[in-house]
Amino acid sequence: MKSRPTIIDVAERAGVSKSTVSRVVADDGQGVSDRARERVEKAIEELGYVPNAVASSMRTARTNTIMLAIPDITNPYWPEVARGVQDVMDEEGYSVVFANSDWNTHRERKYLEMVRRNRLDGLLINPVGVSNDELKALAVPTVVLGLQQGITDFDIVGSNSYTASKTALDHLVSLGHRRIGLIWGQRQGRVKGPRLSAYTDFLRDAGIEQDENLIVSMPFSLAGGVEGMGRLLELERRPTAVYCDNDIIAIGALQAANNAGLRVPEDISVTGVDDIFAASTTTPPLTTVSKPKYDLGRQASRFLLEHIDQGTPDAPRTLLLSCQLRVRGSTAPPG
């Protein structure tokens, strides 16, 4: 098997020193004449030489690679975020390693070790279970995606889920609903998220008595939505509308209502949050709150690049992007 050409081969072909080739490849141009540069570039093309990225990273202390760690790659919310990340990183010459924790803290910790072991330049993460202290101990530029309890020392880029939830609930109340159920997405270590807080605060401010039976906690999954809606429909006084913690849960809730022989929205209204692509294709199309997923990925990436190039700022920043209500066919006044 023919061996790959080395920097020494290029230097011999071009009739220059190895250090000259290194400077041309690094594109710093210092001390290299135009003629020598032309000979080196011609030799690289003729030999098909590809620089050794590992060796380069040892010289520069950069790998030009970052990790995007997310909890569920099957959730259509994340590909749009990832696209925003990749578009920014591509522009700056960085590669992106994708890591799916699958809501597993042990796996998430293994990814942190991978970042350290492979000397990645930065980390974008939506934490499942790792703590603020664990991220600090990593000693790698890090930006957190989404508001997280206990994360205090890192830039955070997310959407305002609290306000988004109140927007959806206000829509339901404006239609005349007063008995509103909540299918709340539960995950490891999550005591009270912004959407649960928004639900309880909104009902209190609207003068609507809260019924704990109308709150069910389910996994962030289609099956969770099916089961959660099933429990709400078993109540003697079932809700006239249901707000779901994300669109995946809401789509499951739509399926459960249909399986129970109910018409949406004539018999029960359903709302979600995120505005994934599938939300507009359900029957009926899902009313939801749209999050700026692509912009979230882009802004988080810009923050991370600032940390890589300039160091972490003294005061961590929190940027919450605004959301918009998308009224579709799954909500209507109570029948």
- The DSSP-derived string for 7-28 is HHHHHHHHTS-HHHHHHHHHT-
Amino acid type, 119? R
Rounded to an integer, what distance in angstroms lies between the CA atom of residue 170 and that of residue 38? Answer: 67
Among the three residues 252, 271, 291, which one is the final residue of a domain in this structure? 291
User: Which among 296, 238, 246 is positioned nearest to 269, based on CA atoms?
Assistant: 238
Same domain, 203 and 284: yes
Looking at residue 35, its pLDDT comes to: 86
Domain assignment of residue 307, given as a range: 65-159+295-322
Same domain, 100 and 83: yes
Same domain, 37 and 70: no
Does a structural domain hold residue 232?
A: yes
Beta bridge partners of 216: 183
User: Which among 107, 105, 98 is positioned nearest to 79, based on CA atoms?
Assistant: 98
Rounded to an integer, what distance in angstroms lies between the CA atom of residue 273 and that of residue 182? Answer: 12
Largest CA distance in the chain: 88
Amino acid type, 140? V
Looking at residue 310, its pLDDT comes to: 84
Q: What angle do CA 329, 264, 251 make, to 5 degrees?
A: 80
Looking at residue 18, its pLDDT comes to: 78
First to last CA, the chain: 75
Q: Which ranges in 101-238 belong to alpha helices (H)?
A: 105-117, 132-138, 161-174, 194-205, 222-233
Does a structural domain hold residue 328?
A: no
Looking at residue 58, its pLDDT comes to: 47
Same domain, 201 and 299: no
Rounded to an integer, what distance in angstroms lies between the CA atom of residue 225 and that of residue 258? Answer: 13
Same domain, 274 and 224: yes
Amino acid type, 113? E
Question: Chain-centre distance of CA 330, in angstroms?
Answer: 26
Residue 195 in tokens: 């959407």
Looking at residue 9, its pLDDT comes to: 87
Looking at residue 223, its pLDDT comes to: 94
Same domain, 188 and 285: yes
The per-residue pLDDT string of the chain (335 residues; one tens digit each, 9 = 90 and over) reads: 456 788 888 888 988 887 788 778 776 556 678 888 888 889 888 888 876 655 555 455 568 899 999 998 888 999 999 999 999 999 988 999 999 999 899 999 999 999 998 889 999 999 999 999 999 999 999 999 998 878 999 999 999 888 999 999 999 999 999 999 999 987 655 556 788 899 999 999 999 999 999 999 998 899 999 999 999 999 999 999 999 999 999 999 999 999 999 999 999 999 999 999 999 999 999 999 999 999 999 999 999 999 998 877 778 999 999 999 999 999 999 98
Cβ atoms within 10 Å of 87's Cβ, excluding its own: 13
Looking at residue 113, its pLDDT comes to: 93
Residue 265 in tokens: 């929205």
